Every structure is written in structure tokens, then in C-alpha cells.
Structure 1
């Protein structure tokens, strides 16, 4: 029960990180381009990639600090009340932050190509696709339906945010709970290290294209 409550709290934190990653930069580039403000901000000696990278780094620092503060706060409250230490806490937090930074890169990319509204639809749409695909894969693994599992893996390749959360949840649960799979946060098939590496490359690719 204690671990379930903790994971529920961290799931909310993960959702808030995702929302911040999608919403905070949504109008940064597209809004400046639409209003022609970018022309007064960007001078000739300043290259396009420097502007994009600078904005990404600024939001990345904000999201990282927010995620550490929120996740650390939840863990600190649980430890204060029940003296329960989360296994794999830092690994889990880092994976949650990677999920947020991945969506941040998508939002920054969308800001250079799309309007503010379209960028928001893209960010939330990809997150929703990953969320649904993650549960399809989870159910498919439980009932041993290979088609459902493959469909879930495909959505994780399109947007790896949900796979990163499932890996984070796997890292932060005791071995017994992992094996029994008795909570909604127990992954029937935990994402591999290769998926984590893919998410990092995905992030760099989105930022590079932006």
C-alpha cells in the first residue's frame, strides 16, 4: 500500500513534468515568429541554432529543477511519515526528467514549424498516443498477445515518454512487487536499456531538426 501510494504520487509528478514540458515552450518560438518579435531579438551574429539551443537549455533547467523538487518532495514526505526509502530513486527521477526533456524537444521543434495551437495539439497528441500505446503493450504482455505488444512498442518508438515512465516505475519498486505485478504501476514487460538509449537519441534528433 505504501509503495502504491508513493508511485501514484510520482505518477502525478511525471504527468506535471510532461505538462510543463509541452506547455511552457509552446509559444516561445512560434509566437515570436508570428509577431515578428524574433527579428528584433535575433541579430546577424547570432545563429539560428544558438537561439534554439539557448531556449531549450533554459526550459530544460527549469523542468529539471521542477522535477527534482516535486519528486524529491513526494519521496521526502513518504520518508518522514513512514521511514520508507525509495529503491532506485535517482535512476527513476532521471528517467522521468528524460521523458519531460524528450517532449520539450518535440515542443521546441514544433515551435519552429507550426502555429501555437498546432504545436500544442502535436505535443499532447503524441503524449496521448504514447499513453494509450503503453497500456496496450501492458495488456498485451499480460495476455500474451504479440500483436498488442508490437503495437505498443511501435508507439514507444514514435514517442518514448510512456516507456520511460514505465522503466522509472520499474526501477523504483521493490523486486517482489515487480515480480507479482500487483499494482497498475508494475510493468508486465519493463522497457530495456536500448529504449532508454533510443529516447536519448530521439531527444537529440528532435533538437537537431529544430
Structure 2
């Protein structure tokens, strides 16, 4: 058995639990609801200028992508919260590691399988939302591939932390750990934005420091910054405009973060007494 075999088995396990079917149904419902709302607002709205129409189109799409990003975080936790801890608790892990399979292959294989699955789901949902916006209003956001890629990266950050937590926590404790951690950085992101708007450098630095704990929220803000039209960024118009924009270095840090946390998960799991 290899890493790719474990990844394939992880994917098959998700299908056996009917997770894929549930995600498909709920994803279609989410996109359909967004399409109805987008159409009603866009068709019945009265816009004095082309710029207003563009701003509304962008805000509506960003609202949909923001909701998709949040649901992706929830999905990342739900899919991975018991992928290690659950197998340990049920005794399945003891059987798995007694076969010619190294422990690091188990961790990396499960991470790879869930990462591919989550990336495909997030890409399809995000692309569907953009397609709806384009069909109804003819609007296409700037830097779309980069924006969707960053959204996927934000989900992979949460997924990796959840798998890491599963190597030393039980399922319930791991779920609480990941959601509380995400809540902390979510609040930190708003502290940074409000403080930057108010010109409070100390509070802004505090928000930036908190984002280093888990940079998923910072990555989302970077994605939303790229997706917005240039003139809206310059005008600071709209509720999704980021006053304090994460730099490209945040993306590099996030990629390194995923690698380091995954390596820590392997180290902790190798030392754990099953």
C-alpha cells in the first residue's frame, strides 16, 4: 500500500458515507438559491450609472463566494475531524498500521485524499457561482483563477489543522479545537480591518499577529481583494473591501504553514501509542 492507495481509500470512504451525494445535493441547492437571489436583485434594481451596476454585481458575487468559503471551512472540519481520531477510537487504525504501511503514509494519504476532494468541491461551487453571475449580469470578476485558488488554499489550511488535531485529540475535542481556532482568527481579522480603518496601528498589528496562528481568514481577504474591480479597490467601495490587505507573502507563508503542520501531524502520530 502507498500514499495514493490510502488517498483512494479515503475518497471511497467518503462516498460510502454518502458524503459526496449530500455535498452534491446541498451544493446544487446553494447555487440555485444564489441564482434566484442574484436574478431578483439584479433584474429589479434601479441603477443610475454603470458603475453602480458593476458594484452591486461584484458585491452580490462576493457575498456568494464568502458564504461558499465559510461552508467550505465547515466541510473541511466535518470531513477530517474524525479521519484520524475516529479510526483510532474504533480500532481500525491498529489494523491499518499493522499492514506493510508506514504511519506517515496513513497521515499523508488521508490528507491527500481529502485535499483533492475538497479542492474539487470548492472549485466547482465557486465556478458555478461565477457562471450564474455571468449569465445573469454579464459580469466576470478580475483575477478569477487566482481568487478561486486562494479560496481552496484557505480550506486546505483548516483541513490540515483538523488532521493535525486528530493525531492527539479525540473527535469531539478536535472539532471544538478547530472551530475555536477559526473563530479566534476570524475575530482577529475584523480587529485588523477596523483598526486599520481607524488608524490604530497597535490593534492592526495585533490582528496581523493573530492571523499567523491560522492564516485562512487572511487568505480569504487576499482572494476577495483580487476578485474586486480595480476602481472599487481605489474607491474603498463596498462591504468586502479590505482596508488592510494581506500581502503576497501571506500566500507563501500559508503554503509553508500547510507543509509544517502536516509534518507535525506525521511526527505526533508516529510517536502516539495506539
Tell me the TM-score normalised to structure 2 length: 0.75
Match of 2:128 in 1: 73
Residues 165-204 of structure 1 aligned to structure 2 (within 5 Å) = 165-204=220-259
CA offset at residue 183 of structure 1?
1.7
Mapped to 1, the partners of 2:235 and 2:76 lie a distance apart of: 33
- Once the 2 structures are TM-superposed, how far is the Cα of residue 42 of structure 1 from its aligned partner? 2.2
Kindly report the root-mean-square deviation, in angstroms, between the aligned alpha carbons of the 2 structures.
0.9
Partner residue of 1:3?
Answer: 58
Tell me whether 179-188 or 93-102 shows the greater mean CA deviation: 179-188
Alignment length (residue pairs): 210
Distance in 2 of aligned mates of 1:88 and 1:195: 17
In 1, Cα distance between equivalents of 2:203 and 2:77: 28
Q: Which residue of 1 aligns with 2:117?
A: 62
Per-residue deviation at 1:50? 0.3
SS of the aligned residue for 2:167 comes to: helix
| Residue 44 of structure 1: how far off its partner (Å) | 4.2
Larger radius of gyration: 2
Q: Which moved more, 1:115-124 or 1:179-188?
A: 179-188
Which whole-Å CA distance do the structure 2 matches of 1:7 and 1:108 have between them? 29
What aligned pairs does 1:132-143 form with structure 2 within 5 A after superposition?
132-143=187-198
Distance across 1 between alignment mates of 2:160 and 2:214: 11
Aligned equivalents of 1:34, 1:88: Cα separation in 2: 44
Calculate the TM-score normalised by the size of structure 1: 0.98
Aligned-pair distance for 1:75? 0.1
Secondary structure of the corresponding residue to residue 243 of structure 2:
coil
Q: Distance in 2 between matches of 1:181 and 1:159?
A: 26
- The structural deviation recorded for 1:132 is 0.5
Matched with 1:209 is 264
Instruction: Give the alignment partner of residue 173 of structure 2, picking from 115, 118, 125.
Output: 118
Query: Which runs of 5 or more residues in structure 2 are unaligned?
Result: 1-55, 266-274
